[in-house]
Amino acid sequence: MDPLIPVVALGAAAGGFVQGLSGFAFGLVAQAIWAWTLDPVLAGPLTVFGSLVGQMLAIGTIRRGFEARRALPFILGGVLGVPLGVLLLPRIDPGGFRIAVGLLLVVWCPAMLLARDLPRIERGGRLADGAAGMLGGIMGGLGGLTGPAPTLWVTLRGWGRDAQRSVFQAFNLAMHALTMAAYLASGTVTPRAASLFLVVAPAMLLPALLGARLYRRFSDIAFQRLVLGLLAATGLVLLATALLR
């Protein structure tokens, strides 16, 4: 048996569960397991594929809160932002970029967790939402970090649990689909990666569905704190990977 199969399956199962529960963070969890064994060239396509499959498996969780007019500005902003991020990539130090984003998440998210009342931003309308989506797209083009900006923004918007999740899950679904299409068109998905896709999908199926089922037991406040906790963990991982290289 291929020695990578158990490692890939374990990372996919753990990432699938957390993504089903929260609507994001597949890459954060899976990469924590895969980074010790998988080559980054292989781990990248597997992460995007797993994230895309996880979003599709958990799509039922956003039906109650989904409004196309609310999600569309984020998606359009992200589509515009991704190529801009790719253009900026040669001009920005990737390590410094990860440290800056990591510090922001590590400082800001715990501060929000400790706050008695979370701040709420009601101004800006769809233009501000589109800007958050564009920032997510730019960060995705720079370092594959599409999620933190729009996820943090919808938390600050103060929307209900289902509305928040429907926006950032629809956004991430669109961004992962765009990235996977680019990978396929550029030949980034090697035969080796494609063969491991057949491990990722079945390994994450039941954990993702279980996480999506448990999500329904969360209150709005508990879900906000789950999201902020995962974003803070994302910041710690970014700092660790940037400083230890």
How would residue 80 be classed by pLDDT, with cut points 50, 70 and 90?
very high
**Do you know the residue count of the chain?**
245
Which three-class secondary structure string do you get for 26-63?
A: HHHHHHHHHCCCCCHHHHHHHHHHHHHHHHHHCHHHHC
CA-wise closest residue to 161 among 64, 16, 53, 28? 64
**pLDDT, tens digit, 9 for 90 and up, residues 156-203:** 888 888 888 888 888 988 988 888 888 888 788 889 999 999 999 999
pLDDT tens-digit readout, 88-127: 867 877 678 778 888 888 888 888 887 766 678 888 889 9
